[in-house]
Chains A and B, each alone.
Chain A
């Protein structure tokens, strides 16, 4: 069984999120090959599943380039008692097959885990056709769905294990490229639906997930040098929302900042805002993420920088907004 430690955390971050998904599945298969089915739509190797396919051919089915069919097939397997993981690039599974997800995983509540590879702008030079800009907005609007966006490779491992144990449909959104940053290097308590407070501060709170957790922590360090004290919350589960964690930051922050590698329409920021509007008195919110447009292409790091989603740029934007609010 894979162990989260500093050596592995470094190795996995180099491999990146897609390869890590394959590692996590291989690890899972060692424990429960009897009731596990992994489905791919011609992206088995791109999902880091090469080794798994060699070792567990009986647990793998490739449906070809047919994401809609993949979800239905996965649901049929789940109906027969298998725990099923189905993966493809974010827009192809989270949007092209979204109505199949709605019928099979939402309406019928089938125990399928839909895994979106390379969401956000991780697909780099492949361009906007392959970017996951809107998938969270679509997935979290479907009843019965649980939506998780892990912060780094260690959290991908934790998410895959937790999703396999969890009886119900889950959308797992992988962000980040190879040679990525990492947040965790020791094992920690991960529970679906329970946010992780990574840093406690007294002025503002940054609520984030996916690749933006690392960047937000970096931003918090820089803000601290300006004597702005920030809480950083890894809200890995966007649905269901951890209301208890949000209650705490809404009550005790002068500014709420949401940071996501997703369109600012309908994602993490929107989910937090929807909940926050139920409070008579709540701090203002700064929504940071990808813009509501199909923008330029480039490698992952370049695009994060371009969109102002790196630690230093976030610190700059957040600091300016914090001061603009009169703090």
Chain B
């Protein structure tokens, strides 16, 4: 794996997220987008088997963004991978745009499903993974959830079924940024020990630093235990990369001012230069 390439991909994603967050002039789900950038950068630069020229390629790996409010990160990854044009990306959250706050199924743009209603993506991923096995196809199915999203009971229905169907072609990632809409997960709905929870549901559960792209890459690509789905609990920081956003609940959904945008860019350029 080209570590530098993935880090550069992540830096460019953050830049694109900041640009469009500012230029759209509206409140955006930026905190939970920035927390998952390094994971998506790893997936899209070094893990997923994809061909942007052939978005319906039967052999492609499937990625489902179950935490639909992370769309800004998703769109920026798809932009850099050649699925979405600069013009379309710049239309984010503008009237009539294809790029809504939550993704809408659009295969030419590499968007595999419509999300936004939490707790649904894992079920679809289970159905896709069952199909791959039923047809002896060797694609893998990746699905990204939020830690707040795991409040939804349907997540655990799906988790139970993934283990039951022995889906070792399924890899879930929980972006554990410790915040949800109303505040920290500890104050809203304490999730307990995620590793133990997923493990007890029959998954191979791995915990990593979600901003260490080498560790993320290793966790995502390590061979699945036979007959077990894998979950990567990615410990992340909400708003990662912007000092004034990090671990601040108000940046779950907020609007960037000009001075904040400039501060954020300055930090991005200095830290990662």
Contacts and interface: CB of A to CB of B under 8 A. Distances in A.
Interface of A: 37, 58, 61, 63-64, 66, 68-82, 99-100, 103-104, 107-108
A63 B165 CA distance: 9
Interface string B124-140: 11111111101100000
Interface stretch (B82-90, B115-123, B182-190, B194-202): B115-123
B114 A69 contact: no
A58 B164 CA distance: 15
B126 A73 contact: yes
Contact of A79 (B121, B124, B153, B165): B124
B272 to A, nearest CB: 37
A73 B130 contact: yes
B114 A103 contact: yes
A72 B127 contact: yes
Contact of A69 (B105, B134, B154): B154
B91 interface: no
Interface in B126-184: 126-132, 134-135, 153-154, 157-158, 160-161, 164-165
A145 to B, nearest CB: 15
Contacts of A79: 112-113, 124, 127-128, 131
B130 to A, nearest CB: 6
A73 B124 contact: yes
Given A64-B160, A69-B154, A100-B123, A76 B117 contact: no
Contacts of B120: 68, 72, 100, 103-104
Given A71-B123, A72-B123, A77-B130, A61 B165 contact: yes
Contacts of B112: 79
A205 B161 CA distance: 49
Contacts of B158: 66, 69, 72-73
Contacts of A75: 123-124, 127
A74 B120 CA distance: 12
Of A61, A69, A74, most B-chain CB atoms within 10 Å: A69
B161 A82 contact: no
B154 A64 contact: no
Contact of A108 (B113, B125, B131, B134): B113
Given A61-B165, A100-B120, A107-B114, A76 B125 contact: yes
Nearest to A107: B114
A103 B126 contact: no
What class of interface size applies to chain B in its complex with A? 20 to 34
Contacts, number: 93
A64 B119 CA distance: 17
Of A61, A63, A72, A79, most B-chain CB atoms within 10 Å: A72
A82 B124 CA distance: 13
Contacts of A66: 154, 157-158, 160-161
A22 to B, nearest CB: 21
A70 B124 CA distance: 9
Given A99-B117, A103-B114, A76 B161 contact: no
A61 B129 CA distance: 13
A69 B131 contact: no
Given A63-B161, A77-B131, A82-B131, A72 B117 contact: no
Given A69-B154, A72-B123, A108-B105, 20 more contacts: A64-B157, A66-B154, A66-B161, A68-B153, A69-B123, A69-B157, A69-B158, A72-B120, A72-B124, A73-B126, A73-B130, A76-B123, A76-B131, A77-B127, A80-B131, A99-B117, A100-B120, A100-B123, A103-B117, A108-B114
Contacts of A58: 134
A61 to B, nearest CB: 6
A76 B160 contact: no
Nearest to B116: A103
Interface string B20-59: 0000000000000000000000000000000000000000
A120 to B, nearest CB: 27
A37 B133 CA distance: 13
